[in-house]
Amino acid sequence: MTKTIAILAGDGIGPEIMAEAVKVLNFLKTSHGLDIALEEGLVGGIAYDVKGHPLPPETLELAKRADAVMLGAVGGVKWEPLDISLRPEKGLLGLRSALNLFANLRPASIYPELADASPLKPEIVSGLDILIVRELTGDIYFGQPRGIRTLENGERQGFNTMVYSESEIERIAHVGFQSAQKRQKKLCSVDKANVLECTEFWREVVIRVGKQYPDVELSHLYVDNAAMQLVRYPKQFDVIVTTNIFGDILSDLASQLTGSIGMLPSASLDANNKGMYEPIHGSAPDIAGKGIANPLATILSVAMMLRFSLNRADLADKIETAVKKVLSDGLRTRDILGSATTTQYKLVNTQEMGAAVLNALQA
Ligand SMILES: NC(=O)c1ccc[n+]([C@@H]2O[C@H](COP(=O)([O-])OP(=O)(O)OC[C@H]3O[C@@H](n4cnc5c(N)ncnc54)[C@H](O)[C@@H]3O)[C@@H](O)[C@H]2O)c1
Ligand SMILES: CC(C)[C@H](C(=O)O)[C@@H](O)C(=O)O
Ligand SMILES: [Mg+2]
């Protein structure tokens, strides 16, 4: 049966990188019989401009009806003056929450070809393969109360609430343990249990859930130490399970270990593996419109979609092999050039990188 894929390109570099991912999807449709129908929708700043809301009802309806969602990126300077409830980012958060996408898988593994693109020494990062399991629908992102208020003394105060219910922690802990079971059987839970009651509770629940997974070695780190350890000796990690805000920050950090934030895909899944797939990076206003963004994180997100939501691991493998091929052929967008000179590598733009992946797929 035909699977519907919602294509939500969003803002900034979103449409540029999504165009390359769509080419890959259309190629798989015509050449490998992938039975899909792509339907475009508006989200983020562009949706606000056209429809007056970052998540218009028709986009939400499309995302709910679709078998999977591909998202580019949202946000930009243009919409920063807006009230936070109307900002492009609310469109993304609204989708995550409405679709109950509580499990965000952010793999940070390095392609051997990119060992020289990381700011860390090749011996620190080569062979790196970490999976960050980020809780995505709770925490300070969604906790109530929140806002800006005026106190009795007339002073204004901004406030948010970090909150996790037991069932929210349990279900993401299960994802963490089960992910570890499929890998090196090591799970590190990252919290701030020395200061925040919310994550003191997180640790208690993770330890309890862990009793069901005696084959997985469970460890705990405070988030500040985890950030330091990720830079010092990242290969000590297999799977990291953590809260929404800590996972957001640690995954950007981890992206640098692999060479560039332009390389990291993600899957945001509900309890039935319905998912939204997006690069972990944002709309990159500093390079938007220049045609130089790296489309590989988005193309690799297509691979995750094929694996998790469309049950086509064979095609996911093909995409990952094609990406490896273009990197070993020496093609580099600017962000993964590292300190190398262009005589060693071929500096390419967004479209050229997308075309090279298509060529490699066709070979
Ligand atoms: N999932 C999302 O839609 C998402 C994620 C993060 C940030 N944002 C939004 O994006 C906007 C910009 O945020 P930011 O600047 O903090 O983070 P960002 O991830 O957009 O950019 C950070 C840096 O990484 C670079 N970069 C990002 N993606 C790249 C790519 N594919 N190729 C090459 N370089 C790339 C950018 O040029 C920039 O220098 C904000 O409005 C933010 O809220 C959206
Ligand atoms: C844009 C923003 C809401 C989002 C987040 O904080 O989750 C982004 O940084 C991400 O990592 O997907
Ligand atoms: Mg982020």
Reported as a pLDDT band with limits 50, 70 and 90, residue 11 is very high
| Three-state secondary-structure class, residue 333 | coil
> Which of 265, 298, 314 is at the close of a domain?
265
203 annotated as belonging to a binding site for a ligand: no
Q: What share of the chain has pLDDT > 90, as a percent?
A: 95
92 Cβ closer than 6 Å to some ligand 1 atom: yes
Residues 110 and 91 both lie in one domain: no
> Which of 214, 246, 265 is at the close of a domain?
265
Q: Would the pTM count as exceeding 0.90?
A: yes
Helix 313-328 to helix 296-308 angle (10° resolution) is 160
Residues 158 and 121 both lie in one domain: yes
- The domain in which residue 167 lies consists of 103-265
93 Cβ closer than 6 Å to some ligand 2 atom: yes
283 Cβ closer than 6 Å to some ligand 1 atom: yes
Kindly give the number of the ligand 1 atom that is closest to the alpha carbon of 92. Answer: 3
> Nearest CA to 47 among 96, 110, 91, 104?
91
What token pair was written down for 218? 């469970």
Residues 122 and 244 both lie in one domain: yes
Kindly give the number of the ligand 2 atom that is closest to the alpha carbon of 93. Answer: 3
Which CATH number is 188's domain given? Answer: 3.40.718.10
Kindly give the number of the ligand 1 atom that is closest to the alpha carbon of 296. Answer: 31
d(CA 273, CA 279): 18
Residue 342 has pLDDT above 70, yes or no: no
Which residue's CA is the closest to the ligand 1 atom numbered 36? 284
Q: Are 188 and 242 in contact (CB under 8 A)?
A: no
Residue 336 has pLDDT above 90, yes or no: yes
7 Cβ closer than 6 Å to some ligand 2 atom: no
d(CA 183, CA 193): 26
Residues 112 and 231 both lie in one domain: yes
Residues 121 and 226 both lie in one domain: yes
Q: Mind listing the pLDDT tens digit for each residue in 180-201?
A: 999 999 999 999 999 999 999 9
283 annotated as belonging to a binding site for a ligand: yes
Residues 39 and 132 both lie in one domain: no
Residues 252 and 353 both lie in one domain: no
Q: Mind listing the pLDDT tens digit for each residue in 265-309?
A: 999 999 998 999 999 999 999 999 999 999 999 999 999 999 999
Residue 76 CA to ligand 1 centre (angstroms):
9
Residues 119 and 234 both lie in one domain: yes
One-letter identity of residue 328: S
> Which of 265, 284, 303 is at the close of a domain?
265
What token pair was written down for 199? 């994550």
Residue 341 has pLDDT above 70, yes or no: no
Q: In the chain, how many domains are there? A: 2
> Nearest CA to 237 among 108, 75, 95?
108
Residues 97 and 107 both lie in one domain: no
Residues 112 and 257 both lie in one domain: yes
The dihedrals phi and psi of 322, each to the nearest 5 degrees, come to -65, -40
Residues 261 and 284 both lie in one domain: no
d(CA 74, CA 87): 9
Residues 313 and 193 both lie in one domain: no
Which residue's CA is the closest to the ligand 2 atom numbered 9? 248
